[in-house]
Amino acid sequence: MIGKRRRLRRIMRNGRTVIVPMDHGITKPEKGLEDVDRIPKQIDGYVNAVILYKGVVKHSSHLQNSDMALIVHLSASTSLSSDPDDKRIITSVRKAVELGADAVSIHVNVGSRTDASQIVEAEIVSEICDSYGMPLLAMMYPRGNVSVNTETVKHAVRVGYELGAGIVKTPFVENFSEIAESVPVPVIIAGGSKTDELELLKNVERALLYSAVGVAVGRIVHEGMNAETVWKRVCKGKIVKMES
C-alpha cells in the first residue's frame, strides 16, 4: 500500500528511527512535561518522530509547521486505576488521520489480566489502519505475573507482528538479536526505567548491535557512534541536527 509505505518512510530513515514517546500524561503526568508543546519544539530536527495523544496535538502551536513525523497514541490507562495494565483504545484511527498523523500506536500488555481484550482491540485497530493506509506501531510488553526475559519479550513481539503492526516497540533484554530477527518487521527498544545517561547509551549501543532498529538517542542510532563518544559530545553540547 503506497500510502502506508510513504508514511513509514517519514518515520524510518535508512532502516532506522529515533522516536520520542510522550504518551505519559494520561498514565501519570511526569515532572517537566507540564508544557508538552515545548518538547516537540526542542527536539524537532533531532528525532524522526514523536508520539502524542490527540489532545496535545489539537492544542499544539508547533506541529502544524513541523517536518517531524507524528504518531498519535490510541491506548490509555491511569496509574490510579485498580489495574493500570488494562489498556483501552480511547482514540480512533480516523481522528488520527484528521490530525495529520503519519502513524498510530497502541499498547498491549501481554500476560496481563486483560490481555485477551487488548489483543482483540489491537486487531480491530490494525484492520482499520489497513483501510486508511496508516502504519501501526505496537508497544508490546510482557506484564502482569509474567517475567521479562528473552522468551516472553519474543512472544510479545510475535503477537504484535501477528496483529499486523508495521513497527514493534518492546523492552530491551539480553539476546535481543534473537527477538529482532524473529519477525520481519522493525523492532525498536523502549526507554525503560530511569537511569544515568551513559548507562542508557550503553544499552542503546548494545541493542543496535543486537539488531534493534531504533531507540530515542539520535546520534548513536543514525551515525553509528559508540556510547562513550555520544556521551562526551552531549555533555559538551555538541549535538548536531539530523540531515533530512
In a domain, 166, yes or no: yes
One-letter amino acid of 33: L
In a domain, 104, yes or no: yes
Contacts of 216 (CB under 8 A, 6+ apart): 18, 19, 20, 21, 47, 191
In a domain, 220, yes or no: no
Q: Which of 54, 87, 154, 169 is catalytic?
A: 169
Q: To which H or E segment does residue 38 belong?
A: helix 38-43
132 part of the active site: no
For position 157, what pLDDT does the model report? 98
Across the chain, mean pLDDT equals 85
141 part of the active site: yes
Segments forming the whole domain that contains residue 70: 2-194
Count of domains for the chain:
1
* Residue 60, domain CATH: 3.20.20.70
- Take residue 156 and report the three cell numbers written for it: 510479545
The candidate with the shortest Cα–Cα distance to 185, out of 241, 140, 127, 223, is 140
The whole model's pTM is what?
0.85
In a domain, 214, yes or no: no
pLDDT band of 210, cuts 50, 70, 90: low
In a domain, 93, yes or no: yes
- Take residue 123 and report the three cell numbers written for it: 486487531
For position 68, what pLDDT does the model report? 94
In a domain, 226, yes or no: no
Q: Which of 54, 85, 141, 154 is catalytic?
A: 141
For position 244, what pLDDT does the model report? 32
169 part of the active site: yes
Q: Which of 23, 85, 102, 115 is catalytic?
A: 23
In a domain, 219, yes or no: no
In a domain, 235, yes or no: no
Q: Above 70 in pLDDT, residue 229? A: no
